[in-house]
Chains A and B, each alone.
Chain A
């Protein structure tokens, strides 16, 4: 569903990602791992249209979107959950969600709200509360919910577990698996957790902007040397 071929991107003269190729299938959880500065966020921002591609191509469901602006990509079924959640702190939970659904209108918006409150009962309980007053885990749920409001087929999630407690990470991962079961494709960028390997179908590891390993989640989970080398953990 998402095909990335020989993608190179960066800022000015500096290339952050070199010649990267991978493909995310429909209904798949695809994990991109790597240390700080490996080019994960640059890749995801390039896919979402916020960092220009220098060469290579990105296509979504057969449509080439390499040079399309960010808002056009939302229309093609791609949504981004940015690093650090970035919810609208002063808006209520419900308002944050409505903003995410700005491309869908009327009855569909209401249906989507119901659906997201179904996935995240915590958000339903707090729907009139200001988003800034939520816990980190709740904010992450809200950021995911906000992205889902636009009816995406592919969600890009940058550093889901960053700064969250293990319980909150597990809660978010559970929802991702439920979404995957509904046919949603998920590209998940992670830095400091091996938990993601339990839910990932495919994994790639980036190192200094270059793909250094790829395989299935199970392969990676059993590869102690890989985990030690790239994630700085043996477990």
Chain B
């Protein structure tokens, strides 16, 4: 039972993390290859505060704020770069984050931070809390998607230039997406730090950024349920089949390739197509 609880907690955190990227890449059409950096910023903030004696719940808000603030700065700096250039810029931010963290003794350097205090919620309580946050954010995403703001994001994802031309303040909406997406990634990072209770720079590297992007793409970029499902499934896949863990990247790569080739709309696109046929 304990193992299942761990799996479900991992799923919930991944869902929250993947949905946070979906807000930026799916809603707003801004591809990020460095999203794990914000996850990491949140994880480190939460872990440091917890080590300093702050209660778990109080570490999540600063985790979100720190990640969101960095996200806003990166977003601001990225306003003029688009498409592949944005992907490369965000990738650079990811490497920068790892490089900086490695050099900071205060952050544990290469060794990371271990013995992060317990949340005090109990295993089941923590699982329920993580699931609650993931569900809450999924609900928020649905709300935004259905509001006029969702249509504005659709228009930016469809064609940024035209949105600009008809007078939509594109930059402002992009910054809002960046701030919300990265702040939520920070909260997810805080959960992660308290889930595994040990963090190191490698947990937030390029591979993690690609992994979360794979979840979004496999699920169907922009689709809330598709991304949530893909994140839940892909996060535990390597745990279910232990041998797969070594081949995780291979598996993700193959899945990405297959999705791009056969269903660029991801699982959500596949489901929509099957429904349309039957």
Which residues of chain A have a CB within 8 Å of any CB of chain B? Answer: 48-50, 70-71, 73-74, 79-80, 82, 86-91, 95-96, 98-103, 105, 109, 146-147, 150
14 new A-B contacts, CB < 8 A, other than A90-B158, A147-B166, are A82-B162, A86-B159, A86-B165, A88-B162, A89-B159, A91-B151, A91-B154, A91-B158, A96-B155, A99-B151, A99-B168, A101-B148, A103-B167, A150-B167
Chain A neighbourhood of B169, CB < 8 A: 71
Contacts of B167 in A (CB 8 A): 48-49, 70-71, 73-74, 79-80, 103, 150
B148 & A71 in contact (Cβ 8 Å cutoff): no
Is the C-beta of B152 less than 8 angstroms from some C-beta in chain A?
yes
Q: Mark B140-158, 1 if CB is under 8 A from A, else 0.
A: 0000000010011011001
Given A91-B151, A95-B151, A109-B148, does the pair A102, B168 have CB atoms closer than 8 Å?
A: yes
Docked-complex contact A100 and B165, CB < 8 angstroms: no
B152 partner, pick from A48, A50, A99, A146, beta carbons under 8 A: A99
Expressed in whole angstroms, the minimum distance between the Cβ of B223 and any Cβ of chain A is 14
The complex places the Cα of A208 from the Cα of B155 at a distance, in Å, of 35
Q: How far is the CA of A50 from the CA of B166 in the complex (A)?
A: 10
Bound Cα distance A100, B151 (Å)? 10
A102 to B168, CA, bound (A): 8
Q: Is B163 close to A, CB under 8 A? A: yes
The residue in chain A whose Cβ has the minimal distance to the Cβ of B169 is A71
Residues of A within 8 A of B151 (CB): 91, 95, 98-99, 102
CA gap between A91 and B29 in the complex, in Å: 14
Chain A residues in 8 Å Cβ range of B163: 99
8 closest A-B pairs by CB: A74-B167, A88-B158, A99-B155, A86-B162, A71-B169, A98-B151, A71-B167, A82-B165
Chain B proximity of A213: nearest CB distance (Å) = 29
Nearest CB of chain A from residue B265's CB, rounded to whole Å: 11
What is the chain B residue whose CB lies nearest that of A90?
Answer: B158
Specify which chain A residues have a CB less than 8 angstroms from the CB of B152 in the assembled complex.
Answer: 99, 102
Q: Contacts A88-B159, A105-B148 given: A48-B154 contact, CB under 8 Å?
A: no
| Chain B residue nearest in CB terms to A147 | B166
At the interface, yes or no: B164 with Cβ under 8 Å from chain A? yes
Residue of B at shortest CB range from A109?
A: B148
Interface size (B, Cβ < 8 Å)? 15
10 contacts between A and B (CB under 8 A): A71-B167, A80-B167, A82-B162, A86-B159, A86-B165, A88-B155, A88-B159, A91-B151, A99-B152, A99-B168
Please give, as numbers and ranges, the residues of chain B lying within 8 Å of A90 by CB-CB distance: 154, 158
Q: Are A91 and B155 in contact (CB under 8 A)?
A: yes
Interface residue from A82, A105, A109 paired with B166 (Cβ < 8 Å): A82
Q: Measured between C-beta atoms, what is the minimum distance from A95 to chain B in Å? A: 5
Please name the residue on chain B nearest to A50 by beta carbon: B165
B168, A71: Cβ atoms closer than 8 Å: yes
Known: A86-B159, A95-B154. A79 touches B148 (CB 8 A): no
Which residue from chain A places its CB closest to the CB of B163 in the assembled complex? A99
A88 touches B154 (CB 8 A): yes
Complex: chain B residue closest to A49, CB-CB: B167
In the complex, A103 Cα to B169 Cα: how many Å? Answer: 10
| Chain A contacts for B168, CB-based, 8 A | 71, 99, 102
* CA of A48 to CA of B167, assembled, Å: 8
Q: Which residues of A contact B166 (CB under 8 A)?
A: 74, 79-80, 82, 99-100, 146-147
A80 touches B165 (CB 8 A): yes
Tell me the nearest residue of chain A to B158, going by C-beta.
A88
**Proximity string of chain B (230-256) to chain A, C-beta cutoff 8 Å, 1 when within and 0 when not:** 000000000000000000000000000
Q: Considering the complex, which residues of chain B in the window 145-200 have a beta carbon less than 8 Å from any beta carbon of chain A?
A: 148, 151-152, 154-155, 158-159, 162-169
CB B120 to nearest CB in A, in angstroms, measures: 44
What's the Cα separation between A82 and B158 when bound, in Å? 16
Q: Given the complex of chains A and B, what is the CA–CA distance between A102 and B155 in angstroms?
A: 11
Cβ of A99 and Cβ of B165 under 8 Å apart? no
Minimum CB distance partner of B170 in chain A: A71
Complex CA–CA separation, A132 to B151 (angstroms):
16
Q: Which residues of A contact B155 (CB under 8 A)?
A: 88, 91, 95-96, 99
Measured CA separation A70–B164 after assembly (Å): 8
Question: When chains A and B are docked, how far (Å) is the Cα of A71 from the Cα of B152?
Answer: 14
Q: What's the minimum C-beta distance from A231 to chain B, rounded to whole angstroms?
A: 26
The answer to whether A89 and B158 touch across the interface, beta carbons within 8 angstroms, is yes
- Interchain CA distance A185-B226 in the complex, whole Å: 46
A132 to chain B, nearest CB (A): 10
Complex CA distance for A207 and B55, rounded to whole angstroms: 72
